[in-house]
Amino acid sequence: MARVIVVGAGVVGLSCAVRLLEAGHHVDVVARDLPLETTSAVAAALWYPYRAFPHERVTAWSRSSYGELETLAGRHDTGVRMLAGTELHRRPMADPWWRDAVPTLTRVSAFGPPYADGWSFVAPVIEMPVYLRWLAGRVEALGGTLTRMALTSLPDRAEVVVNATGLGARRMADDPSLMPVRGQVVYVEQVGLDRWWLDESGPVYVVPRSRDIVVGGTDVEGEWDRRPDPDVAKVILERAVELVPELARATVVGHRVGLRPARPEVRLELEQQGRTRVVHCYGHGGAGVTLSWGCADEVTRLVGD
Contacts with ligand FAD, residue ranges (CB under 6 A): 7-13, 31-33, 38-40, 42-46, 48, 150-151, 164-168, 172, 183, 185, 216-217, 258, 260-261, 282, 284-290
Cα 39 from Cα 43, distance rounded (Å): 7
Judged by beta carbon, residue 94 or residue 150, the one nearer ligand FAD is 150
Residue 293: CB minimum distance to ligand FAD, A: 11
Judged by beta carbon, residue 116 or residue 293, the one nearer ligand FAD is 293
One-letter amino acid at 165 equals T
Residue 65: CB minimum distance to ligand FAD, A: 9
Phi, psi of 109 (to 5 degrees): -130, -5
Which residues contact residue 300 at a Cβ distance below 8 angstroms, ignoring those fewer than 6 apart?
16, 19, 20, 23
**Environment class of residue 178 by beta-carbon count within 10 Å: exposed (0-12), middle (13-18) or buried (19+)?**
buried
Residue 213: CB minimum distance to ligand FAD, A: 13
Cα 235 from Cα 63, distance rounded (Å): 33
Judged by beta carbon, residue 96 or residue 258, the one nearer ligand FAD is 258
User: What letter does residue 142 receive in the DSSP assignment?
Assistant: T
One-letter amino acid at 252 equals V
Cα 183 from Cα 172, distance rounded (Å): 23
Judged by beta carbon, residue 44 or residue 250, the one nearer ligand FAD is 44
Residue 14: CB minimum distance to ligand FAD, A: 8
Residue 109: CB minimum distance to ligand FAD, A: 26
Judged by beta carbon, residue 41 or residue 109, the one nearer ligand FAD is 41
The dihedral formed by the CA atoms of 13, 46, 266 and 28, expressed in degrees to the nearest 10? 0
Q: What is the largest CA-CA distance in the chain?
A: 61
Residue 144: CB minimum distance to ligand FAD, A: 15
User: What letter does residue 282 receive in the DSSP assignment?
Assistant: E
Which residues contact residue 113 at a Cβ distance below 8 angstroms, ignoring those fewer than 6 apart?
none
Residue 286: CB minimum distance to ligand FAD, A: 5
Judged by beta carbon, residue 166 or residue 208, the one nearer ligand FAD is 166
Judged by beta carbon, residue 114 or residue 213, the one nearer ligand FAD is 213
Judged by beta carbon, residue 247 or residue 291, the one nearer ligand FAD is 291
Q: Is the dihedral of CA 132, 137, 140, 146 positive or negative?
A: positive
Residue 112: CB minimum distance to ligand FAD, A: 26
What is the number of other CB atoms lying within 10 angstroms of the CB of residue 167? 24
162, 25 in Cβ contact below 8 A? no
